[in-house]
């Protein structure tokens, strides 16, 4: 039996929804295209650790998971006119809140 891993990227009124295999690999140009941004913008995401650090030999290899994080970074930057360092901090806080919510949900399920 084959297992297919995918992640749905939620659309907004301006961009249609995409379904991208989270293990699919992109080079820099194709990743930038998938994000609707320039390669220079993507490199800034790496510089500010908005995207996970990569080994030197794979620095320009991106995955489907990275697309949703990059698009979220762009929306934060656009909506709040935020710098890359502010976006990095906002995403870290969002991730932490989501993790805490999962822990609370798990504790509530366990306690019942």
Cα distance between residue 68 and residue 49, in whole Å: 15
More confidently predicted of 22 and 80: 80
What's the pLDDT at 18?
Answer: 60
Name residues whose C-beta falls within 8 Å of residue 83's C-beta, 6 or more positions apart in sequence. 77
If you average pLDDT over residues 51-68, what whole number do you get?
88
Domain assignments of the chain as residue spans, ordered by start: 7-111
Report CA-CA distances (Å) from 20 to 28, 49, 89, 98: 16, 22, 26, 22
82-92: pLDDT as tens digits: 999 999 999 99
4-44: pLDDT as tens digits: 444 444 455 555 556 666 678 899 999 999 999 999 999 99
Class of domain 7-111: mainly alpha
Among residues 48, 59, 31, 40, which one has the least CA distance to residue 82? 48
Contact status, residue 50 vs residue 83, Cβ threshold 8 Å: no
Name residues whose C-beta falls within 8 Å of residue 22's C-beta, 6 or more positions apart in sequence. 5, 6, 7, 63, 64, 65
pTM > 0.85: no
What's the pLDDT at 2?
Answer: 47
Among residues 84, 65, 52, 83, which one has the least CA distance to residue 22? 65
Tokens for 10, please give them. 């939620």
């Amino acid at each position: 039996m084959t297992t297919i891993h995918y992640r749905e990227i939620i659309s907004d009124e301006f961009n249609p929804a995409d379904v991208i295999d989270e293990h699919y690999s992109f080079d820099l140009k194709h990743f930038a295209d998938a994000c609707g941004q320039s390669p220079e913008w993507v490199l800034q995401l790496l510089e500010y650790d908005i995207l996970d650090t990569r080994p030197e030999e794979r620095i320009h290899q991106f995955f489907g998971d990275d697309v949703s994080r990059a698009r979220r970074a762009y929306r934060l930057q656009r909506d709040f006119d935020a710098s890359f360092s502010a976006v990095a901090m906002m995403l870290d806080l969002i991730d932490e809140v989501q993790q805490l919510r999962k822990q609370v949900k798990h504790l509530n399920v366990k306690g019942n």
